[in-house]
Amino acid sequence: MKRIDGLGAWVWQRLSALYLAVFVIYLIGNFLNLDRFDHATWVAWVSHPVNNILMIIGFCMLVVHAWIGIKDVIMDYIHPVVVRAVVMMLFALILLLCLVWALRVVLMV
Amino acid sequence: MRNQKRPVFLNLLQIKLPPTAIASILHRVAGVFLILLFPFLIYMFDVSLQDKASFTQAVQLINQPLVVLLLYGLLWAISHHFFAGLRYFLIDFDVICGKQAARFSAVIVVILGLLIPVLVALGGKL
């Protein structure tokens, strides 16, 4: 069971990394040569169905990637079991709240 | 079952890290930094989308000198994390193998990571 969990995290880390890398390139392609950037352009871009769906998946991928990454870092550097558990829960909570907040913003535009 | 006789030398000022280690630790530093900035970035994202007035507020905020500095840090973190991550993909798929290639690619990653924010600064885009 443990081995499968570890493999799952390994695969998800790379899968989310790939998605985020491509998404960053997509963002640069969309925003690098913009001659005007105002509120209307910004709202139009985020509320466009394609961008909206890409962002919903993107925020989920970002939080998955962040969670796997921070979990590895915490396990490597924080050894006392209780402190480790508390710090992990803290980051889990922050990331979860961030995800809900981000999705709320994307879906309500 | 710890080996009590293993040599321990942890003077951080005297340990000389090879380029591979530098690229690796910076990958972690950048990742943690990005997570810490995440709430602030979503806040900016939220504010910028609300209405015209709050969009203007957001633009004003990201033009504050301290925030500009933070954004350059953010840019470095994304760019380093991106290139270092790409390097790990190339290692996973055996494109980069051997000590020489590992070292060389690590140096390239650190340079590319710094190059992006420098280019943006020179282009005056931020």
A58 within 8 A of A102, measured Cβ to Cβ: no
Is residue B4 one of the residues assigned to a domain?
Answer: no
Is residue B101 one of the residues assigned to a domain?
Answer: yes
Is residue B119 one of the residues assigned to a domain?
Answer: yes
Summarize pLDDT for B54-91 with one digit per residue, the tens.
Answer: 999 999 999 999 999 999 999 999 999 999 999 999 99
Q: Tally Cβ neighbours within 10 Å of residue B96.
A: 17
Lowest mean pLDDT among A1-10, A30-39, B14-23: A1-10
Is residue B96 one of the residues assigned to a domain?
Answer: yes
Residues of A in contact with B56 (CB under 8 A): 39
Q: How many CB pairs under 8 A join A and B?
A: 55
Is residue B95 one of the residues assigned to a domain?
Answer: yes
**Res B16: pLDDT:** 83
Q: Please report the domains of chain A, with CATH numbers, ordered by start residue.
A: 2-108 (1.20.1300.10)
CATH number where B45 lies: 1.20.1300.10
Residues of B in contact with A14 (CB under 8 A): 89, 92
CA of A20: which chain B residue's CA is closest? B82
Is residue B61 one of the residues assigned to a domain?
Answer: yes
**Res A32: pLDDT:** 86
Question: Given a cut of 70, is residue B3 above it in pLDDT?
Answer: no
Question: Given a cut of 60, is residue A1 above it in pLDDT?
Answer: no
* Residue of B12, B25, B38, B90 to mutate, testing the A interface (most A Cβ within 10 Å of its Cβ): B38
Summarize pLDDT for B22-40 with one digit per residue, the tens.
Answer: 999 999 999 999 999 999 9
In the numeric block, which tokens belong to residue A84? 């480790």
How many domains in chain B?
Answer: 1
What is the domain extent for residue B115?
A: 19-123
